[in-house]
Each structure stands twice: as C-alpha cells, then as structure tokens.
Structure 1
C-alpha cells in the first residue's frame, strides 16, 4: 500500500520527470534555497526535489513551518519581489546557493531569484518565468519526440493578461498557443478538453502549485551544465523571438463602488456606451471588455472570450502596439494593470520598448484610473 507521499509523488514522477535532465539533477553542483512563507509548501517541495533526483533544497528556517501570523514578512506573496525575499537571499548568500525558489502560503504561486555576477540578484517576473518554462518544456518535448510533425498536436496555454511571448515562440516553432480568461477554472478546463481530444499540452501558464518550483530547478541545473544562467537564457529567448517587455502592478481600493465607477466611466468615456479613443496622446486601436461581452476588433463587436461578469476587465490595444488590461481582482481589494510592448526578433530595441511602455502606463494610470481623485493606494513595493 502506498504512503501518502508515494501517492502524491507518483504522478509528478510519471508526468514531469524527463530523461533530458534527471542525470544532470543528480550531479549538479547548484544549491537551492526554498521558502514556503510560513505556509504548507515545505514538505511538498522537499519531496518533489527528491523525486527529481536533487539534493534537498535548503529551507529558510524562520519561514519553514505554518504560521497564520506570517510573522517574518509584511506580505507573504512572493510576487511582491525582492523586498519579501530578504531572508531567503541572505541565507542563499551564506550557504553559497545561486537559486532561490519561493512558494506562497498555499503553494500556488512561485517566485524565483538567481544570483548574478557582482553579487546582484535577479528576481524573475511571472512573465519572464513563463518565457523560460515555455522554452524549457518545448525543448524537452522536442528532444524526446520521434516525429517532429507531431508538433501540430502540441499546445501551450496562457491567459489574456499573460505575456504574449509563448505565442511568439509557438508561431516560430509550429505548435499551438491559446488564451483563456484569467483563473485556474478557465485554463484547467481548456487543458482537460485538449487532453481529452488527444492533444499534448506541454505547458499552461496560470497557477504554479509545487511542480513549477522543481521544474525550474531542473532547467537551472541543465543550463548550469552548459555554463549558462537563467538570465542569459532569457536574453537568448528574447533575441530569438523578440523582446517582450511587460509590467504588472496594482492599486488598492477598498470601496467596491469606486471600482465599479472607474470601469463604468471607461464604458461611457466619449459619450454613452462609447469607449475611449485616446489615452492621453496614445491612440487606441481596439477595446475588449469581457465583462460586457464587447470586442471592437470583431466584425460583430462581440467578444470571442466568454462573458465574465464576476470581475471587471477591459483591454486596450494601442496604435503603437502596446496592449494593456485593467482588471479588478476577484479575491483582493485591488485594481490590477497588465501592459506589454513587443519587439521583432533580432531587433535590439529593449530600451525603446521599456521607455515607451512606461509612458503608456503613466498615461493609463493618470487618465483612466485617476488615483488621487478615486482615493487609490499605490502598491508600496
């Protein structure tokens, strides 16, 4: 009879362990630090690393065990960046570990940091991790498949607020990329539907659970065996498929009526039921409002995506190529924004894209969110 750990680990071993990396995992000199932010992830991450042939990751002792007060961190969300990883980075430097993986209290979010030259830490954004993991999962599939023509049955999935980097990789490599609405129920149902149809889903970009942490470790070990860092590989991905510069952040708003008013103003910006045509100096090409089922890019102006009235979500496609989404959180008192500018493969235009993206975001916040007027609280980190 299987123990609970054997029962839990078996599907991870069966579905995720690949011959590409296991022998490397067992010999890698890389050390890993893991923090579970006072949550439930510690035991599961330890077990997953063992299944993949790694030495156990070094736990952050102050944050290893469940603590409902989250006493060592102001905000137990690894997505907040370097400021919440202080204990992890300090321990990594002490132990000579080059990679930190952090899971939030319920272990469905992941952050990754990598030590660079001169002692600098690179904390990857969620979209950067998607680029790396998408590249890695396709690389592993490509190495293991016997017939390259099978690529037409390969899929990756993301959400409407994710980076389009996976779409760019798919366009060049020949597999399929699909978008769903944000939320595990949407992407999970689509994954199941594709699997039921006999398709191969190598990567879906929404929730990480525990598996992503150990797959990141596997990828890092493989790259290290080739004397490449994850940051260097990310740069290679951008050079190959085009720079995808994105920014995700939020404002706190504790008044639901204010949130509704902000979005209703956008829906009647240029008159009754007329969405904005400009945001400051930036012309708007298309507007998609999945809350109302509207999409100006479609001939019938109806959204291809399902109508979802559970939260507010409006996406603007600008004439300069920027795509930006304003969305209310379904679980937190936040208005989130997601914005991205994409370049062409082989074009070294990163600094231009970064500058242009910042200008669009500043205009978006000033003209559409109006933080001072609406009493919005800026993200503090």
Structure 2
C-alpha cells in the first residue's frame, strides 16, 4: 500500500491541448478516492499518469516515498482495472486471475493459494474452471478485480469499471467494490463520470473540469457546500435548481429577491455564512435542491408555478414546473421586485424540479405554490461562479 501525491502535475499534448493543468492532489495510504467529472475533464488522464501509461509534462508524481515520473508501469506496482475487463477469452477464470503471478515467475503452489483466496473473497470459487464467455458481466468484472488483488499492489486504479453493466449490476458492484477496498485496505483511485458512483463509494471525491481540480472533499461536503456553480450543478441527482436573484438589506436584515418573491434570510443563516452579511445590493444566482422545495397551499412566501410534467419514481414524485409571471401575484408580495424583473418576459420559463411525496400528485397545467426551505439555499456570484459563503 502507498500514498499517491500529485504536485503541480500537468499533461500537455503535442497539439497544445492541456488535459491536466497543475494538479495538486494528495491521496492517503489506504484511501478510496474517486475522480469524477464530465468527458474530457482530465480524470482518466490523471489515472493513466499514475499507471505510467501517460507521460507527465510538468510537476511531480509520487507513489509512496518514490518519485514516479520516470518509472515504467511495471516498476510502479499498481494494478489497473479497465472498463473492458481485458480478460483472456481462452483461459479459465483461475488462469486469468493468476496470470500476472505466472508472468512474474511465482511458484505454482503460491499462485494456487492466492487465486483461491481471491476467489473466495469475490465469490468466484465455484467458477474457477469456466471461461470468460460463460460468465455474466458482473462475474467478469469480479475476475478482473481478482487478477488485480492477487498481485498485492501498492494501489488499485479503476477506470470506469462499471459502465458496461446494467443498472442492477452496477448497484451491486458499487457495494462490492467498496466492501473489498475496505477489507483489503489498498489505496484505490476510481474514475467515473457517474456522480452517483462518486457519492456512494469514495472516502473523498475530487471533482475535475477542464483539466482543473474544482473541489476535493467527502461526498456529503460536496453536496452541502459546493465551492462553485460547476460542482453544485454536477453533484446531485436530480440536479440543483438555479434562479436569478438579488441579495440586499431589508428592514429585518438580509433578504433575497427571487422572480415573484422576496424571502428574508434568518439571522443565524447569514451569521453562518459570513460572506453573505458582507454583501451589498447585488445580483446573485440562487441554488435550491429539489428536496428543499415543497408544494404548499396559500403560503404568502411561496413561488407561483405551473406543472409541466411529473416523473413517478415509485417512492416519490419528481415534479417539473415552470415559474409563472411574477407580476400576476405582485400585490401579494412585498415591494422591491422592480429592479429584479425589469425587462423580464411576461412568463419566466425557468424550469424547476421538486421532490414531492406521491400524495402530492398534480396534473399538467395545474397552478401550484412552491415553498422554499430558506436555510438550505445556495448563493453564487454570477461573474466568478464561486459560492458566496
């Protein structure tokens, strides 16, 4: 096992494309770290640099106490698990699992012992004589993991290993990989574009975009305290709602003006977010998670919206609504929306998503009132897109 450290690591290609830009990232010995981001963000390139499959054009990569920039893949003692499994179709499960040990020149009895132990851990012990073509996708992925485990590497590197599986198998394998990592204690770097995998598997999650590390934090902190608009919109399913707003000081303290509604901000909420109290009258982007909205009746402090459609998720509903003309309810609201809505069209077509109980079912076209859990709001600077906290 070993810690892995990126210090100002960059990867630039011959055409000038900068895939990874001065990445600073320390992965602790035994940690399960997830690299997540959209296609082309640099996450797989970073993983391949750890494996030695991509050359480093700037900075220093260390594995354990050793600088690894110029080490060959064999010298790094890391095991990579690919999306495609990369099994030998003509070999049995046992021979696939033990192949790296055979190449290394291990004794036959040592190979048999390690293959047996890995097979029992992965529940492959009854499949050892089968070939990959006789296995399901989940079983083949476990064989690929077994091949990595028997090597007893310093680190596991996993490049979107579940993307070829169906939804049910992905759910099973997420739990299985997390369990095995904790049982083995081997440092693991896991690359995915799926934020659900990132949130459910990693000790910490590194969010990347455009080759730049955006935020590194435990999953819950990413969700509750995103550092910028990209992280807020990328992390969370269903995604966060975004509205134009204006922060300002009112008669009772800080308040936020939304399309069709002005909400006072609780003093404790503002005090916890010191940057809010330092703001003057300014435009902001307001983020609201779908679970922090609720359908209500006759609430003066509520948004007016029209139901577009709804998704029945079984245990709950995801209601999609469009905000309606705030001027239609202006007399029910507090004064001061003129500057926010100046030049706005008659109908603000901002689409919002609300997580609601099944009992709150509505019909398309229904006009509804939407309450907001004010202490769960997120605020972002429209120019820098950084969180205002």
TM-score of the superposed pair, with normalisation by structure 1: 0.30
Larger radius of gyration: 2
The structure whose residues are more often strand, as a share, is 2
Give the number of the structure with larger relative contact order, counting CA–CA contacts within 8 Å between residues 6 or more apart: 2
The structure whose residues are more often helix, as a share, is 1
